[in-house]
């Protein structure tokens, strides 16, 4: 989310850029001209008030559907302004152009899959875990940078609430939970969040046990998304590289690997029991 860093795909968040702030200012002016509060606009276009606030503050990249959704609320001219403003947006260094595209895909996806062996994906991270990761990052971050990235990552997690019809599937290595990043209390908070999210109908969290002789993930993390047009895309990254994957044969390979990984992991019930057991041992 080209180095996403710190939390895998759902890791490093965009810094506030001038173009994002400009888009937010335009949105706010148009909303004010229509005599709407953030809450009223959010209800009309089908997004949360927090999402609208994030866009107006320049912290949230607007979805491509926003202009079309806002036309009946703000008018045709306003919709055209928003569409033009969105097309001119840029993000600061820290997110590659490939990940900017992926971030937009992720927000509108019908299905999202992730396999991680480095850190728990950012969508699943509680604030204390986010801070533990950022505190250990190199080169060290300033307090201002940490606060900005914490706020951005928490804001991004709204997708779990805003898209109840999107299916989210995660396969996590048990070692990520046994590592106790940030200490026992942080790990307890993390496990509580994983257990709570795992109870939702549209979120599946599977744990890959520590010992697995037949393992389909030696090449590292992988991410998959099904777009609203029912096209599948993939994303992968290393420490200083990232790849948005669209070639059908390559995406198919990632789908095969994720399918095998999910079948090799503990099932949903057993994964929940393991999470409970790990928490009890803290």
Rounded (10°) angle between helices 18-33 and 76-87: 170
pTM to 2 decimal places:
0.71
Rounded to whole angstroms, the Cα distance separating 101 from 1 reads 9
pLDDT tens digit sequence for 57-69: 887 778 778 889 9
Residues 33-81: tens digit of each pLDDT = 999 999 999 999 988 888 899 889 887 778 778 889 999 999 998 998 8
Give the contacts of 54 (CB within 8 A, at least 6 positions apart). 60, 155, 158
Q: How confident is the model at residue 13 (pLDDT cuts 50, 70, 90)?
A: very low
Contact 7, 153 (CB under 8 A): yes
Q: Helix, strand or coil for residue 114?
A: strand
Torsion of CA 163, 164, 165, 166, to 10 degrees: 60
Q: Rounded to whole angstroms, how far apart are CA atoms 216 and 235?
A: 17
Does the pLDDT value for residue 2 go beyond 60?
A: no
> Tens digit of pLDDT for each residue in 179-200?
999 999 999 999 999 999 999 9
Q: What is the pLDDT of residue 14?
A: 44
Tell me what pLDDT residue 17 has.
63
Average pLDDT, the chain: 86
């Amino acid at each position: 989310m080209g180095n996403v860093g710190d939390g895998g795909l759902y890791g490093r968040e965009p810094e506030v850029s001038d173009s994002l702030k400009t888009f937010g200012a335009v949105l706010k002016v148009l909303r004010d001209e229509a005599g709407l509060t953030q809450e009223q606009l959010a209800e009309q276009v089908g997004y949360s008030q927090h999402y609208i606030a994030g866009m107006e503050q320049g912290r949230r990249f607007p979805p491509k559907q926003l202009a079309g959704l806002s036309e009946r609320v703000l008018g045709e001219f306003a919709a055209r302004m928003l569409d033009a403003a969105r097309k001119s947006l840029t993000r600061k260094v820290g997110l590659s152009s490939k990940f900017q595209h992926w971030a937009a895909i992720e927000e509108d996806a019908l299905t999202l899959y992730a396999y991680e062996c480095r850190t728990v994906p950012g969508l699943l991270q509680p604030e204390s875990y986010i801070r533990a990761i950022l505190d250990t990052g190199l080169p060290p971050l300033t307090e201002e940078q940490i606060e900005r990235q914490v706020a951005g990552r928490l804001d991004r997690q709204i997708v779990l609430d805003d898209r109840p019809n999107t299916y989210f599937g995660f396969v996590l290595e048990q070692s990520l939970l046994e590592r106790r990043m940030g200490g026992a209390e942080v790990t307890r908070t993390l496990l509580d969040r994983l257990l709570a999210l795992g109870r939702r109908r549209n979120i599946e969290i599977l744990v890959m046990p520590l010992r697995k002789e037949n393992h389909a993930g030696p090449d590292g993390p992988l991410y998959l998304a099904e777009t609203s047009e029912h096209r599948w895309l993939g994303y992968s990254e290393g420490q200083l590289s990232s790849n948005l994957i669209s070639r059908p044969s390559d995406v198919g390979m990632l789908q095969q690997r994720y399918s095998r990984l999910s079948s090799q992991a503990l099932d949903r019930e057993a994964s929940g029991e393991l999470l409970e057991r790990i928490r009890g041992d803290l």
